[in-house]
């Protein structure tokens, strides 16, 4: 079984795009998911195929080698990949909705010419905001940038940075003036080969294990002034706006994860027999499947609505927070119930829903915890006249 979005929600182009990504995920990624999870490594050949298919530069204009697609298509890609492997989904998510998005909006013409063709064709990138003491309080960062001639010199340590093991470009947020608070934060384009920059410890994670998460070390890292993204002291604006949009894609990732768990549960309910009948014939299991399917569809509708609002230039902050909050809760619930449908085997590594259950937990944490989403939603409600 595959639950489908209502046909009226997808035009022909989006439907074809979605089908292409789905076929790629099922044929090229699915056979390797279990091995990649166990090893904690994403296969280089699959990453290469994702570039070749255009999944790493969906919104990058064709003049720079990208697909010239839409934000909604990026969300669709993340959702479809997550049905099979949420690790693959988050790799595509960070590249498109955070890094490429920031580059398209704030990069200079020279920076676009230098980096966008690489990001579309071969270079993975990372978005480096978080630090040991700077998680939900994103602007409490301590990484420092000091001006020295035609360079900035960066010192500090970043933690929990997605794609870091493979990335060639890092959007690093640092403060040029701690006394200025968030108004001192600036975004720097740090290239992997820069002196004083290194990728440190790779985290051994509960879920999305094939997606690399590492620390970054900046020890008198020299960054040319031509590699400042946007304006000095305006990094907070880049961070806020990209993360607001990125949360919609995280909602898509969690929706896809929940869809994958539901598909596995339905297939097993049709096959597994107890007391002479398939377990899907028992009302207790039917009720669980019905609740799971409803959660998946509600998540999808919230995510698609937020994405459409963003594309049309309409306010979407509340809707993005709702989509991310609800979809992450739903994914954890659906994955948990799927494990229960499988019974004892669901608690073993042989079962695909065991992995999805582990993968689901991060949805309530990264790119804004569930509590932070609730704060955002409440503040927006209370601010209305």
Active site positions, annotated: 367
Name the phi and psi angles at 200, rounded to 5.
-95, -140
Distance of alpha carbon 108 from alpha carbon 228, whole angstroms: 9
């Amino acid at each position: 079984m595959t639950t489908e979005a209502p046909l009226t929600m997808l035009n022909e182009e989006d439907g074809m795009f979605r089908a292409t990504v789905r076929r790629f995920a099922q044929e090229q990624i699915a056979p390797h998911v279990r091995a990649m999870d166990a090893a904690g490594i994403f296969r280089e050949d699959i990453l290469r195929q994702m570039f070749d298919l255009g999944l790493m530069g969906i919104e990058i204009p064709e003049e720079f080698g990208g697909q010239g697609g839409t934000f909604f298509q990026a969300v669709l890609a993340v959702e479809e990949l997550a049905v099979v492997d949420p690790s693959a989904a988050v790799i595509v998510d960070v590249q498109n909705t955070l890094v490429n998005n920031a580059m398209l909006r704030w990069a200079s013409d020279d920076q676009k010419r230098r980096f966008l063709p690489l990001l579309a064709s071969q270079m993975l990138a990372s978005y480096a905001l978080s630090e040991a003491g700077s998680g939900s309080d994103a602007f409490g960062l301590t990484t420092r940038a000091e001006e020295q001639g035609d360079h900035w010199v960066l010192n500090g340590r970043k933690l929990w940075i997605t794609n870091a093991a493979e990335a060639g470009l890092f959007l690093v947020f640092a403060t040029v003036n701690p006394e200025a608070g968030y108004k001192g934060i600036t975004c720097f384009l740090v290239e992997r080969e820069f002196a004083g920059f290194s990728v440190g410890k790779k985290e051994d994670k509960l879920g999305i294990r094939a997606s690399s998460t590492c620390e970054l070390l900046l020890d008198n890292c020299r960054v040319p002034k031509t590699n400042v993204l946007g304006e000095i002291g305006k990094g907070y604006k880049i961070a806020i706006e990209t993360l607001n949009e990125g949360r919609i894609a995280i909602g898509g990732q969690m929706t896809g994860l929940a869809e994958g768990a539901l598909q596995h549960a339905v297939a097993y309910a049709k096959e597994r027999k107890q007391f002479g009948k398939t377990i899907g014939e028992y009302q207790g299991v039917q009720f669980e499947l019905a609740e799971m399917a409803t959660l998946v569809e509600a998540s999808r509708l919230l995510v698609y609505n937020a994405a459409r609002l963003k594309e049309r230039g309409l306010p979407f902050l509340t809707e993005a927070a709702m989509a991310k909050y609800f979809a992450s809760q739903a994914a954890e619930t659906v994955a948990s119930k799927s494990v229960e449908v499988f019974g004892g085997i669901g608690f073993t590594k042989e079962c695909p829903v065991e992995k999805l259950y582990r993968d689901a937990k991060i949805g309530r944490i990264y790119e804004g915890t569930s509590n932070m989403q609730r704060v955002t939603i409440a503040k927006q409600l209370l601010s209305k006249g």
